[in-house]
Amino acid sequence: MNEYSHIIGGEPTDEPRDAAEIAKRSVVVFSLIEHAMTEHDEAAERRKWLEKYQLVSQLTDGEKQYLYSDAPSVQQDIDATWLAECLCVLLWAIGYVEVLPEESEKFDTETTFNLMPGYCDVSVPEFIENARLRPISELYDMAKSIQWAHGKAISRNLGDVTEILKERHLAINWVVGYCGLSWDETTTDT
């Protein structure tokens, strides 16, 4: 029984993800962002790299469609770049990022190049193995904080801030296992 899930309106049976699962999702999300940022340059190599580390199974159907498309849409690219806000929360949850940017500040993905596999001397297995899940109470405190800020941004119609918080809200809800939902089904109820 989860003693914290009620804080964000979750279920008593909610189970937070483990560090390895969050680390794998981080690598996948980073790959999707990289795909958009490089305008699909080296797409075949990126797919082979994910296959090599058996991370393709971590992709949702929509993510596979995007990554394996010969001509992704502009909207798919935009959606992929917004994943940077999810990435910062995922990396925070497993101790790779100390603090999240302010609510109105977009996360700069380039600041993660020094810790992401493929850009530094850390392999995917090492990245996964070195991930350390923050205490459950800390994860739920962050989930409540983001949920509250997201609700406030929606009610005040704060534009980009609302989108930033929506993406962060999605990521933290997935991390804490909100209602047992998968990545592409996770909701951001406020």
Neighbour count for residue 157 (Cβ, 10 Å): 8
Q: Express each pLDDT in 4-37 by its tens digit.
A: 888 888 888 899 999 999 999 999 999 999 999 9
- DSSP run (H or E) holding 138: helix 136-155
For residue 8, give the 3-state DSSP assignment: helix
Which residue, among 171, 175, 170, has the nearest Cα to 189 in the 3D structure?
170
Query: What's the whole-number mean pLDDT along residues 169-186?
Result: 96
Q: Are 167 and 85 in contact (CB under 8 A)?
A: yes
> What is the distance between the alpha carbons of residues 100 and 84, in angstroms, rounded to a whole number?
12
> What is the distance between the alpha carbons of residues 161 and 165, in angstroms, rounded to a whole number?
6
Q: Name the residue with tokens 């794998």.
A: 24
DSSP string, 24-85: HHHHHHHHHHHHHHTTTTTHHHHHHHHHHTT-GGGS-HHHHHHHT-SS--HHHHHHHHHHHH
Q: Express each pLDDT in 63-107 by its tens digit.
A: 999 999 989 999 999 999 999 999 999 999 999 999 999 999 999
Question: Please, what's the b/e burial string for 44-53 (b: 16 or more CB within 10 A of its CB; e: otherwise)?
Answer: eebbebbeeb
> What is the distance between the alpha carbons of residues 90 and 172, in angstroms, rounded to a whole number?
7
Residue 1 has pLDDT above 70, yes or no: no
Residue 120 Cα distances to 26, 65, 88, 159, angstroms: 15, 28, 18, 35
Percent of the chain with pLDDT over 90: 85
Q: Express each pLDDT in 118-147 by its tens digit.
A: 888 999 999 999 999 999 999 999 999 999
pLDDT for the residue 91: 98
